[in-house]
Chains A and B, each alone.
Chain A
């Protein structure tokens, strides 16, 4: 296995306004592998963006990463880094693409300058060499007429072009890992696909690991190797992409699928998940999805661990225990039809 990043029991806390603290990210673990894409899927406020910022130690103040969390990047303990050594992994080993390309570029410098800035932050090269590399990067992310675009200001480019520039910047220091936080959310649907293709291609040609953060299950299919679904600061289900799409097992994941319209099959009424994600601090005891879950039962009042559902497939739900449904994971074979299961007490 070529694991290059290991996140273990990541917890991030913020002051709750009183004397206590809340944990918008509460015990998240995952690993990234070279040349593979892991998709982190969840609604707004589930902690997925905060998780990605933690990888670079960019959790905004007054938030902090709690004791007992571990982030290992190869041989490096990211949480033990300080000052210059921390700066050296930012961009150089983990590159980041942010959600909104309209605000991610500095309006007063040309895009060429900004890509070159990334090159020069980590490599001791001349200005002209940095500019040459910036040009190569623009070609690589598929910007038409890259030589002319080098001297363009951000406001002269479209959203899709800017996101390509952002990707070029993220690649400027040749990182091993690319974190893309909702890279297409702010873009037109047609441009979305192009940007995602660029990410896929770069992953394959550079052998990078990609952490794709999204709320959109639709862009995950056929693109990510694995999917981790987050809810209320925790990963609630994790599986290889095909497995997850075939057998979504956690009631929350099932709810997500049920709320996405399908192109094939009979036209059915969409069933949104009732209620909304409670803010950190208002999470219920036990399973955090319990108040919204159609299948909650007495055992849900204690927090379930991640339990195996199938090969390489785990979820944070007591229903995964064979004793709770009679035949364990198999009963989730018809998983996207939640109403078929009526064993709630």
Chain B
């Protein structure tokens, strides 16, 4: 799958998206190591809602915490949630899609009706319901829930690919050569779905960052005091007029990250399947 990646890199959208994403990921990885403690309150009374300055480039929030540190730490959480949840849903989707597409028949029908039913329920409402009942869910639970509700589209996508690939002569040829089922699935079917899977994963990262930000904004996602972009915007709501920087910077972080993930995803999609451009 080196080929689509190389082609996406030649696409300006892909290159910008990839570079910006890499910069954000690097900032989220390195930032918390060198910046102030995102939970520290250096001077409780005098440092609240300070505008951006040299000491606090993004300003401070209502609890006098450094916003730059919090954006970096929040990025760690948001990106980790996104990558792990998408990893989970892509794995589940690929597994279900392979099983449904390869075995076909009743198995396929049952799995695809399940997917149809699941896709008829809005994902956000489903998550809201579960998280409203399960108060203060830990981050790991959040990842599992988002991952477990995100594979339906991928499952259908992979199933479609497998149905197409199963008719490819090289799959027929592998059967004629006496390849066993495992070999056919893992060498001939799965690797050839890698392109579409990669696209689904990249675009999924953007979706999940938005979803997690939305949940955190509603107080149902990442729980305070752990910083997250959505949670920071929630905190900033009460001071939005007097200290807009408290909401603007995490908001910008969300927009830039999702935008670059989508740019890269679009470029990748065109690289994987030029016809669909």
Stretch in B15-23, B79-87, B174-182 with 4+ CB within 8 Å of A: B174-182
In the assembled complex, the CB of B125 is this many whole angstroms from the nearest CB of chain A, namely: 39
> Contact: B180 with A166, CB < 8 Å?
no
Determine whether A88 belongs to the interface, using a CB cutoff of 8 Å to chain B.
yes
Contact residue among B178, B192, B194 (Cβ-Cβ distance under 8 Å from A173): B178
B178 and A122 within 8 A (CB): yes
Among A5-13, A99-107, A314-322, the stretch that binds chain B is A99-107
Q: In the complex where A106-B192, A108-B192, A117-B183 touch, is A90 in contact with B177 (Cβ < 8 A)?
A: yes
Which residues on B sit within 8 Å (CB–CB) of A30?
none
Contacts of B179 in A (CB 8 A): 91, 117, 121
A120 to chain B, nearest CB (A): 9
Contacts A106-B187, A106-B192 given; does A100 touch B169 at CB 8 Å: yes
- Mostly, the A contact residues are loop
Q: Is the CB of B170 within 8 A of A105?
A: yes
How many A residues touch the partner, as a band?
Answer: 20 to 34
Given contacts A106-B187, A117-B183, contact A87 B169 (CB under 8 A): no
In the complex formed, the residue of B with least CB distance to A166 is B173
How far, in whole Å, are A99 and B176 apart by their CA atoms in the complex? 13
- In the bound complex, do residue A90 and residue B176 qualify as a contact, i.e. CB atoms below 8 Å apart? yes
Cα A217 to Cα B173 in complex, Å, equals 25
Contacts of B169 on A, CB cut-off 8 Å? 98-100, 103-104
Interface of B is mostly: helix
Contact of A90 among B168, B178, B183 (CB under 8 A): B178
Interface residues of B in 149-206 (CB under 8 A from A): 168-170, 172-180, 183, 187-188, 191-192, 194
User: A270 contacts the other chain (Cβ, under 8 Å)?
Assistant: no
Bound CA span A90–B176, Å: 5
The reply to whether B177 and A121 form a contact with Cβ atoms under 8 Å apart is yes
Closest beta carbon of chain A to B172's beta carbon, Å: 7
The CA-CA distance from A157 to B173 in the complex, in Å, is 18
Whether A230 sits at the interface, judged by CB under 8 Å, is: no
Closest residue to A169 on the B side, CB-wise? Answer: B177
Is B1's beta carbon under 8 Å from chain A? yes
Q: Measured between alpha carbons, how far is A105 from B177 in the docked complex, in Å? A: 12
Pairwise interchain contact B187-A109, C-beta atoms closer than 8 A: yes
Contact in complex: B173, A88 (CB < 8 Å): no
A32-62 vs B, Cβ < 8 Å mask (1 yes, 0 no): 0000000000000000000000001010010
Q: Are A58 and B187 in contact (CB under 8 A)?
A: no
Interface centre among B104, B172, B180 (most CB of A within 10 A): B172
- The answer to whether A117 and B170 touch across the interface, beta carbons within 8 angstroms, is no
Closest chain A residue, CB of each to CB of B195: A108
B168's nearest neighbour on chain A, judged by CB, is A103
B184 to chain A, nearest CB (A): 10
CB neighbours of B187 from chain A (8 A): 106, 109, 117
Closest-by-CB residue of A relative to B1 is A108
- Chain B, Cβ-Cβ closest to A100: B169
Q: Are B177 and A173 in contact (CB under 8 A)?
A: yes
Q: Which residues 103-131 of B sit at the A interface, judged by CB distance below 8 A?
A: 104
State A122–B169 Cα separation when bound (angstroms): 21
- Report yes or no: B192 in contact with A91, Cβ–Cβ below 8 A: no
Is A87 touching B176 in the complex (CB atoms < 8 A)?
A: no
**B176-A91 in contact (CB<8A):** yes
Asked if B170 and A106 sit within 8 Å, CB to CB, the answer is yes
| Minimum CB–CB distance for A105 against chain B, Å | 6
- CB pair A96–B173 under 8 Å, yes or no, is yes
Query: What residues of chain A lie closer than 8 Å to B1, measured between beta carbons?
Result: 108
Determine if A104 and B173 form an interchain contact, defined as CB atoms under 8 angstroms apart: yes
Q: Which residues of B contact A117 (CB under 8 A)?
A: 174, 177, 179, 183, 187
Report whether A121 and B173 are in contact in the complex, using a CB–CB cutoff of 8 Å.
no
Given known contacts A104-B173, A107-B192, is B180 in contact with A87 (CB within 8 Å)?
Answer: yes
Say yes or no: is A89 at the interface (Cβ < 8 Å to chain B).
Answer: yes
Which residues of B are found within 8 Å of A234, using beta-carbon distances? none
Which chain B residues border A300 with CB–CB below 8 Å? none
CB distance from B103 to the nearest CB of A (A): 11
Chain B residues, Cβ within 8 Å of A149: none
For residue A214, CB closer than 8 A to chain B, the reply is: no
Q: How far is the CA of A166 from the CA of B179 in the complex (A)?
A: 15
Q: Roughly how many angstroms separate A183 CA and B191 CA in the complex, as a whole number?
A: 27
Cβ-defined contact, A121 with B170, below 8 A:
no
Nearest CB in chain B: distance from A172 CB, A: 7
Nearest A residue to B192 by beta-carbon distance? A108
Contact A92-B173, Cβ < 8 Å, known A107-B192, A108-B191: no
Report Cα–Cα, A107/B4, bound state, in Å: 13
A55 (CB) vs chain B CBs: closest residue: B176
Interfacial chain B residues near A112, Cβ < 8 Å: none
Q: Which residues of A contact B168 (CB under 8 A)?
A: 103
What separation, in Å, do the CA atoms of A328 and B192 have in the docked complex? Answer: 59
- Beyond A105-B170, A107-B192, 12 extra complex contacts between A and B, CB < 8 Å: A56-B175, A92-B178, A96-B177, A104-B170, A106-B191, A117-B179, A118-B178, A121-B180, A121-B183, A166-B173, A170-B177, A173-B177
List 17 A-B residue pairs with CB atoms under 8 Å apart, sorted by A's residue number: A56-B175, A58-B175, A61-B104, A87-B178, A89-B178, A90-B176, A91-B179, A103-B169, A105-B173, A106-B170, A106-B187, A106-B188, A108-B192, A117-B174, A117-B177, A121-B179, A173-B178
10 shortest interchain CB distances as A-B pairs? A90-B178, A91-B178, A91-B177, A96-B176, A104-B169, A103-B169, A106-B170, A108-B191, A118-B177, A87-B178
